[in-house]
Amino acid sequence: MMEGENPLANAIRATFTRPSWGFLLLIFTGLAVLSIHITRNTIFQLGPISSQAGLERPRGPPSCSGLFEAPPPRKVVKSISEFGGVGDGRTSNTAAFRRAMEYMEKFRGTGGTQLNVPKGRWLTGSFNLTSDFTLFLEDGAVILGSQVIMATIDGQGKMWWDLWWNKTLEYTRGHLVELINSHNILITNLTFRNSPFWTIHPVYSSNVVIKNMTILAPLHAPNTDGIDPDSSTDVCIEDCYIESGDDLVAVKSGWDHYGIRMARPSVNITVRRVSGTTPTCSGIGIGSEMSGGIRNVLVENLYVRDSAAGVRIKTDKGRGGYITNITMRNIMMERVKVPIRFSRGADDHPDEQWDSKALPKVKGISISNVISVDSRKAPLLQGIDGAPFEDICMKNVSISGLSPSVKWNCEFVSGFSDGVSPVPCFELQKMAHHLGVHIPELQWSLKFRPYSMVVKYMEKSIQFLCRHR
């Protein structure tokens, strides 16, 4: 079948359109925040994506954005200009934003507040948000990050990237948006650019919706992940376009012994209708910092082009924790070097106190309805000696562009496969002991039924396990 005739490829590709360049740079940190709404009054155009969001069109594709509970109209509405803000692109508004937030804090829990940012270019350093708060950007409003060298406030990231490349960095690079211990968060219809480090980082947070976003960074800017939910619960990421020098989306939950001690997993994460490119990393990454555990992750309708990897599971000795019940489906890739990669051995630890005996547990990974064209390498699935990755289910996976001599590379993994091309590695076909666990009747069949019937029964059982995972 020709690529243009493939209905799955056409359906997935039609879902994604590269949006026009937007115009916002926003830097702030949210600490222990309840109910934040960050938006602008005109919907940012994302072509077919924005028009399909579930809340705007109930009959459209599914949406998880209902996790965010829309607040009532705010009791107090102010403009940043009332706090001395000047939107000329030159005047520092750090003090104005901090005065505004100090004022807004007084109304926490008593009807909430809204801070309007009028049209203009508003230069600022970092400022903390408060609870029961809406940050409302009018059309033409641009918040610019200051280039004062202080941790976490520089959104014009080139200076920080240069320091990192030159190995002269003396400060921790800041995230563009970091939300800590926050609940009921909506970030939507904005463009974020040039983060010094990870762009959007919700940590220890819940009920977070990030949708209709454009996130842009130079393709070789170091560690400029798009969206990284970390030790958070009930996170919805939908309808986003991302260009970055690292993972488009990476689910995390703590680093080595620190993450093990905190034991704050990432749970119930949905990533849907996300597209983009990253020449150094993956479209969707699970890990590698996953020591608090990661479970119940759904990734669907993903489009990745011109990237190092499509989907990736990352972990290592010393991480501990677990990755389980991960579902990835309806994925289109073009010119991706390694479409599917499970990797180990990053040798990346926070300090010398990490425990080499803390092994991660990876089990229950389902990948289905995947098309990768112009692929460079076969899938690479590397588990860990002493902690193999189990119950890996591959169904309806088509990888084209490879030389006939190229084979899957698998080690310390086991699982199921159905409708996979080229033929997967032996570890995904060696089913008997797994089926013995899931379907005890197989043991009886091996003893009393003809071999041909047993083989047919095993094939159907494999299909059933993949279909219902």
444-456 in b/e form (b: 16+ CB < 10 A) is ebeeeeeeeebee
What per-residue confidence (pLDDT) applies to 44?
29
| pLDDT the model gives residue 191 | 85
- Spatial strand order of the sheet with 28-31 comes to 28-31, 177-180, 200-203
pLDDT at 456: 57
* DSSP code, position 11: H
With beta carbons less than 8 A apart as the criterion, state whether 30 and 182 touch.
yes
Say what the pLDDT of residue 157 is.
Answer: 86
Give catalytic residue positions: 246
Buried b (16+ CB within 10 A) or exposed e, 219-258: bebbbbbbbbbbbbbbbbbbbbbbbbbbbbbbbbbbbbbe
Q: What is the pLDDT of residue 384?
A: 95
Can you give the pLDDT at residue 83?
97
- In this structure, the strands spanning 28-31 and 76-79 are unpaired
Please choose, from the candidates 246, 229, 152, 237, the residue with its C-alpha nearest in 3D space to the C-alpha of residue 188: 237
Q: Identify the pLDDT of residue 109.
A: 86
Locate 193 and state its tokens.
């650019």
Q: What is the pLDDT of residue 210?
A: 96
Which of the residues in the chain have pLDDT under 50? 1-5, 7-8, 10-27, 41-58, 148-154, 432-444
> Is 5 exposed, middle or buried, given 0-12, 13-18 or 19+ CB atoms closer than 10 A?
exposed
**DSSP 3-state of 173:** coil
- At residue 1, the pLDDT reads 42
CA proximity to 193, closest of 218, 173, 171? 218
Please answer whether residues 294 and 268 qualify as being in contact, where contact means their C-beta atoms are separated by less than 8 angstroms: no
The DSSP bridge partners found for residue 349 are none
Residue 111: its pLDDT value, please?
A: 86
β-pairing, 413-421 with 389-399?
parallel
How far from 347 is each of 218, 254, 256, 321, 433, CA to CA, in Å? Answer: 26, 15, 11, 16, 32
